[in-house]
């Protein structure tokens, strides 16, 4: 077939380094950018097959998110903007690892297994982050699409969630929105306007009374708008997109962007991952006491908030705090509209124990725990009318079932609904629209959080005070083969190697309010250790002792882990 001749011809321009093996993991393929050219070309081939198979547009995003600038990566996006299925992740690994001479055999094998109709049209959307290697690597993806005569649309520089949004818009014939960057801003920002204008109505109402006492109507409105926020863009694509969005929200939200890529290095001592792991502010950020700040990661699908208090103490509001704020807000609105919808919060083992306790005991919402990795949380959240999912590292969003969306929509139009219920229903409706339901999205999450804080009249300190995090510590242990660690119960218990879980259990017993677990990383060649306890000293000591147990029982390499203090 002529198509296969074209694949052979073009693939020789994107040769695979012999012997190199890559794995399509939780975050797609990720490696040093130097090793990825063939992987990009072949992901372009696979996206074309997936598009033919699903008769829909597929997305390919070139990014290595929070990894160092020298790395890059690639991820496939399925028709509804979701992650690709496990089966196709397997095909991706097979295709990318096929030695040059076997490429066509593996390709034809996938076509046969999936009964792909090769005469079906194919459409692939491609996007990239700001890494310098992304330019040639995204071209390699486009070459792959072309080799199988697929149509491609190159969105150029976009955030990962923006590309997910485009794919979903395209495949729902515009029902989800318009598949352009402008359409994305319009959808997200219009809702901020309406959410904020609803607030202004309330403020005006309140101010009406104040007027007679203080004649301060204007002052009150001006002190409400615009909102102010400092954003650390991790020197990546998020910063670029914030500048692009600025004109849409100038009078509602003033954003000061730091680490915008004009001088610093991508993800270097900045960004959501740095802030969460180091529990300190990014470099290059000006912060005044009490001022709300947030950090994005390298492809803007993660966000964490923080502030420093008047004593200079740093306070982090991570994914758990964000999930709590959003679910509290949604639950209050559901009560006001009188809708009996099942709301749940989905977390991973990394969720701070205080957040889980608060959600279950005080908020009385259902809490589920899944394995690490967005696709697991997303899947679990789909089982509820409203599923709020967040990893502690700041990756998350909210999913609304079709039934929930319909019920809310009906209420906004019901002539028998009183004003208070209608306003709450309208707010819920607006909230649905501001949320990127395809995947966690730093820009969308930020706009929602800003709106919620404004509506509730809440400061970042009040939000932080909803519950107090238990001190915690994360460590890494190098072992010869991290696959010797096998876990169960959403990664909260180790089933192998023998004796490790028993060792962790007895160490945990030594400390108050303690919890610890270990798991092999999906993105780095290490075993991750998490510990939390009543005090930072206890959390540190426990994390160290568990690291030693891993080192001794799971084949540690290099020096024995040293105590932190
Ligand atoms: C990836 C995952 C993220 C997870 C992290 C864990 C996606 C899109 N990203 O970045 O959700 O928290 O891996 O990394 O699924 P680890 O396995 O190295 O701890
Ligand atoms: Mg990311």
Q: DSSP state, 548?
A: H
Residues 392 and 519 in one domain: no
Q: Are residues 335 and 281 in the same domain?
A: no
Residue 522 belongs to domain spanning? 472-553
Look at residue 385 and tell me if it is in a domain: yes
Do 346 and 236 belong to one domain? no
Q: Give dist(CA 324, CA 339) in Å, integer.
A: 20
pLDDT of residue 209: 36
The CA angle 306-308-310, to the nearest 5 degrees, is 150
Structural domain includes residue 167: no
Mutate to test the pocket of ligand 1, among 30, 83, 318, 373 (most ligand atoms within 8 A of CB): 373
**Residues recognised as catalytic:** 65
| Domain match, 153 and 17 both | yes
- Same-domain check for residues 190 and 252: yes
Report which ligand 1 atom has the smallest distance to the Cα of 440: 8
Mutational pocket test of ligand 1: of 26, 351, 528, the residue with most ligand atoms within 8 Å of the beta carbon:
26
pLDDT at 51: 98
- Any domain includes 163: no
Per residue of the chain (565 residues), what is the pLDDT tens digit? 678 999 999 999 999 999 999 999 888 999 999 999 999 999 999 999 999 999 999 999 999 999 999 999 999 999 999 999 999 999 999 999 999 999 999 999 999 999 999 999 999 999 999 999 999 999 999 999 999 999 999 999 999 999 999 999 999 998 899 999 999 998 898 767 766 566 555 444 444 433 333 333 333 434 556 789 999 999 999 999 999 998 888 878 999 999 999 999 999 999 999 999 999 999 999 999 999 999 999 999 999 999 999 999 999 999 999 999 999 999 999 999 999 999 999 999 999 999 999 999 999 999 999 999 999 999 999 999 999 999 999 999 999 999 999 999 999 988 888 888 888 898 899 899 899 999 999 999 999 999 999 888 899 999 999 999 999 999 999 999 999 999 999 999 999 999 999 999 999 999 999 999 999 998 888 999 999 999 999 999 999 999 999 999 999 999 999 998 7
In a domain, 562, yes or no: no
Q: Is 348 exposed, middle or buried (0-12, 13-18, 19+ CB in 10 A)?
A: buried
Tell me the three-class secondary structure of 208-255, residue by residue.
HHHHHHHCCHHHHHHHHCCEEEEEECCCCHHHHHHHHHHHHHCCCEEE
| Shared-domain flag, residues 407 and 521 | no
Ligand 1 pocket list (CB less than 6 A): 26-27, 372-374, 391, 393, 395, 521-524, 528
Radius of gyration of the chain (CA): 24
Residues 16 and 150 in one domain: yes
Q: Are residues 197 and 306 in the same domain?
A: yes
Domain-ending residue, one of 157, 175, 209: 157
Q: Whose CA is nearest to atom 4 of ligand 1?
A: 373
Which tokens is 72 given?
A: 């890059």
Sign of CA dihedral 78, 82, 86, 92: positive
266 touches 128 (CB < 8 A): no
Residue 564: predicted pLDDT: 86
The closest of 405, 454, 394 to 249, measured between CA atoms, is 454
Residue that has been written with the tokens 């949604």 in this structure: 330
On whether residue 71 sits in a domain, the answer given is yes
- Asked whether residue 162 is assigned to any structural domain, the reply reads no
Q: Note whether 306 and 323 are same-domain residues.
A: no
Give the distance (Å) from ligand 1 centre to CA of residue 177: 28
Residues 350, 293 share a domain = no
Round to whole Å and give the CA distance between 47 and 138.
Answer: 13
The answer to whether 252 and 192 have CB atoms below 8 angstroms apart is yes
| Whether residues 39 and 102 fall in one domain | yes
* Same-domain check for residues 138 and 40: yes
The Å distance, Cα 193 to ligand 2 centre, comes to: 27
Q: Tell me the C-alpha distance between 226 and 256, whole Å.
A: 12
CATH number of the domain to which 432 belongs: 3.40.120.10
Is the alpha carbon torsion for 498, 499, 505, 511 positive or negative? negative
How remote is the CA of residue 208 from the centroid of ligand 1, in Å?
A: 50
Choosing from 425, 440, 464, the residue where a domain stops is 464
């Amino acid at each position: 077939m002529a198509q296969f001749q074209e694949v052979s011809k073009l693939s020789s321009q994107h040769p695979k380094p012999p012997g190199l093996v890559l794995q399509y993991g939780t975050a797609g393929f990720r490696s040093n950018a130097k090793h990825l050219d063939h992987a990009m070309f072949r992901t372009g081939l696979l996206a074309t097959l997936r598009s033919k198979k699903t008769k829909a547009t597929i997305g390919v995003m070139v990014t290595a998110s929070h990894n160092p600038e020298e790395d890059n990566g690639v991820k496939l996006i399925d028709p509804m903007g979701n992650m690709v299925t496990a089966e196709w992740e397997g095909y991706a690994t097979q295709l990318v690892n096929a030695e040059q001479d076997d490429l066509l055999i593996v390709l034809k094998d996938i076509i046969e297994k999936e009964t792909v109709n090769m005469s079906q049209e194919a459409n692939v959307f491609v996007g990239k982050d700001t890494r310098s290697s992304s330019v040639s690597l995204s071209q390699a993806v486009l070459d792959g699409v072309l080799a199988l005569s697929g149509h491609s649309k190159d969105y150029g520089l976009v955030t990962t969630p923006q590309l997910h949004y485009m794919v979903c818009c395209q495949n729902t014939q515009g029902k989800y929105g318009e598949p352009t960057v402008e359409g994305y801003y319009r959808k997200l920002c219009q809702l901020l306007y309406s959410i904020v204008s609803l607030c202004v109505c309330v403020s005006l109402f309140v101010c009406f009374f104040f007027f007679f006492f203080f004649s301060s109507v204007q002052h009150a409105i001006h002190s409400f708008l615009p909102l102010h926020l400092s954003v650390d863009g991790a020197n990546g694509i998020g910063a670029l997109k914030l500048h692009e969005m600025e004109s849409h929200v100038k009078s509602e939200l003033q954003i000061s962007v730091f680490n915008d890529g004009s001088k610093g290095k991508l993800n270097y001592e900045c960004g959501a991952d740095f802030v969460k792991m180091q529990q300190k502010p990014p470099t290059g950020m000006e912060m005044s006491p009490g001022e709300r700040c947030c950090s994005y990661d390298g492809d803007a699908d993660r966000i964490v908030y923080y502030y420093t208090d008047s004593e200079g103490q740093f306070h982090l509001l991570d994914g758990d705090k964000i999930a709590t704020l959003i679910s509290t807000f949604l639950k209050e609105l559901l009560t006001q509209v009188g809708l009996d919808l099942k709301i749940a919060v989905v977390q991973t083992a990394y969720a701070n124990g205080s957040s889980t306790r608060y959600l279950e005991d005080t908020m009385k919402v259902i809490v589920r725990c899944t394995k690490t990795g967005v696709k697991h949380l997303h899947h679990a959240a789909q089982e509820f009318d409203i599923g709020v999912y967040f990893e502690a590292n700041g990756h998350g969003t909210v999913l609304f079932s079709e039934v929930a969306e319909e019920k809310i929509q009906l209420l906004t139009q019901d002539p028998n609904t009183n004003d208070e219920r209608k306003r709450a229903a309208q707010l819920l409706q607006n909230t649905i629209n501001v949320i990127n339901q395809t995947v966690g999205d730093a820009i969308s999450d930020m706009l929602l959080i800003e709106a919620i804080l404004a509506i509730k009249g809440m400061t970042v300190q009040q939000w932080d005070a909803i519950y107090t995090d238990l001190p915690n510590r994360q460590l890494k242990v190098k072992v010869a083969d991290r696959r010797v660690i096998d876990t169960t119960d959403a990664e909260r218990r180790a089933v192998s190697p023998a004796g490790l879980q028993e060792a962790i259990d007895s160490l945990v017993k030594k400390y108050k309010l303690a919890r610890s677990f270990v798991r092999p990383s999906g993105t780095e060649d290490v075993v991750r250790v998490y510990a939390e306890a009543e005090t930072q000293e206890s959390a540190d000591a426990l994390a160290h002792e568990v690291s030693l147990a891993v080192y001794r029982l799971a084949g540690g390499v290099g020096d024995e882990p040293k105590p932190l203090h």
